[in-house]
Chains A and B, each alone.
Chain A
């Protein structure tokens, strides 16, 4: 909760960060969450903020 709030505070789009509690036996939920998240991120486009430029 603190993380997502903070990331939004420093200007990240809401929804770019998400934490879910999924037990090892909830395969369906993993797939579902990943699918949702991928869709969402695809809409938001690449993250230009915290690129790692090593």
Chain B
């Protein structure tokens, strides 16, 4: 990945130097060996700190929203899955496509930080990463470590649909093979849950939702959540007892409603980047919730994963006369 890192820095520096953009949104090495954090490079010097490792999990497209109403020209670095977020924002008219330079990185998959830290000392300094196709080699000052992709990748990467960005102005680094396992069922998790007994399913979600802290991290990280003021925070004057139309109280019944409503707001628009599940501090398997709708929509209405195609209209905002229906 060395080559890609160098090219990324060079291109970023070039864009900043020529003042084509004011800021390049990318990642830089974080506080430990298995962490990369979002980084906003605004000068040529800062561009040299950009990096590209199998720990660059954050979907940076969301950060574009910070600039949705000013005219700052920006560049943003995206992986395949994140690139769908660009299409999401453009379709939602939150961002004019021309205003952003999209730097696309072909991606061999993201490593599961937990699994890496089980083997590697967090304090080690990451020197170089090599993508060998079926495994990653991490070279650190404390030694070399090999990670078999099949074992150590994030589960979403093993189900990867687009490892090459679907939209980009500049592709950086060599093409790499998709980390998706062959013959993998993208919706295996959903299907598994579907087959369970309704009562089991019910307690499954009861238990998860009961733990929800209502911290809204899932919403904050989501590129499909781009309302100006979230409906869960809109104060309605003179409203019943609570100030919002769904109380903010942390209560299982309310949490249920919160998650289902959010679910419906992103239905047909969720790009399946998996960020919600990653940021959830109590590990609610949110992806399995959103992907249920995605799976049904794919089966019933032949919907592509949202964000794949910049021209498509969100599923719930359109219709075809030959749509299937279940009305009697």
- Residues of A at the B interface (CB closer than 8 Å) are 1-14, 19-21, 49-54
With A5-B296, A11-B203, A21-B327: A51-B253 Cβ-Cβ less than 8 Å? yes
Q: Do A13 and B198 touch (CB < 8 A)? A: yes
Partner of B292, one of A5, A13, A49: A5
A11/B296 in contact, CB under 8 A: no
Query: How far is B327's CA from A51's CA once the two chains are assembled, in angstroms?
Result: 27
CB distance B241 to A19 under 8 Å? no
User: How far apart are B244's CB and chain A's nearest CB, in angstroms?
Assistant: 10
Contact indicator A2/B327 (Cβ below 8 Å): no
**Residues A6 and B292 in contact, CB atoms below 8 Å apart:** yes
State the majority secondary structure of interface residues on B: helix
Q: Does B194 sit within 8 A of A, measured CB to CB? A: yes
Known: A2-B300, A10-B205. A52 touches B254 (CB 8 A): yes
A21 to B257, CA, bound (A): 25
**How many chain B residues touch A (Cβ–Cβ < 8 Å)?**
37
Nearest A-chain residue to B256, judged by Cβ? A50
Q: Is the CB of B325 within 8 A of A1?
A: yes
Task: Tell me the nearest residue of chain A to B323, going by C-beta.
Answer: A1
Q: Is the CB of B206 within 8 A of A9?
A: no
Q: Closest A residue to B247 by CB, please name it.
A: A54
**B241-259 vs A: 1/0 string, CB under 8 Å?**
1100001010101101100
Contacts of A13 in B (CB 8 A): 198
Q: Does chain A have a CB within 8 A of B98?
A: no
User: CB-CB < 8 A to A10: which residues of B?
Assistant: 201-202, 205, 256, 260, 289
CB distance from A17 to the nearest CB of B (A): 11
Chain B residues with Cβ below 8 Å from A49 are: 202, 206, 253, 256
Q: Cα distance A19–B326 when bound, in Å?
A: 9
Contacts of B201 in A (CB 8 A): 9-11
Q: Cβ of B230 < 8 Å from any Cβ of A?
A: no
Cross-chain pair count, CB within 8 angstroms: 75
Complex interface: chain A residues within 8 A of B300 (CB): 1-2
Q: Which residues of A contact B242 (CB under 8 A)?
A: 54
Nearest-neighbour CB distance to chain A for B240, whole angstroms, equals: 6
Given contacts A1-B326, A9-B193, A10-B201, is CB(A52)–CB(B253) below 8 Å?
yes
- Interface assignment of B324: CB less than 8 Å from any CB of chain A: yes
Closest to A3 in B: B264
Q: How distant is the Cα of A11 from the Cα of B300 in the complex, in angstroms?
A: 21
Contact partners of B264 in chain A: CB under 8 A: 3
Task: Tell me if B198 and A11 are in contact (CB < 8 A).
Answer: yes
Q: Which residues on the B side are within 8 Å of A5 (C-beta)?
A: 292-293, 296
| A4 vs B97: C-alpha distance when bound (angstroms) | 36
Whole-angstrom CA separation of A6 from B268 in the bound complex: 13
> Nearest chain A CB to B192's CB is how many angstroms away?
12
Chain B residues with CB under 8 Å of A7's CB are 260
Q: Across the interface, which residues of B come within 8 angstroms of A4, CB to CB?
A: 326
| B328 in the interface (beta carbon within 8 A) | yes
In the complex, what's the smallest C-beta–C-beta distance from A40 to chain B, in angstroms? Answer: 14
Q: A21-B327, A54-B247 are in contact. List 20 more A-B contacts (CB 8 A).
A: A1-B324, A1-B325, A1-B326, A2-B267, A2-B316, A4-B326, A6-B292, A9-B289, A10-B201, A10-B260, A11-B205, A12-B202, A13-B198, A20-B328, A49-B253, A50-B253, A52-B253, A53-B249, A53-B254, A54-B249
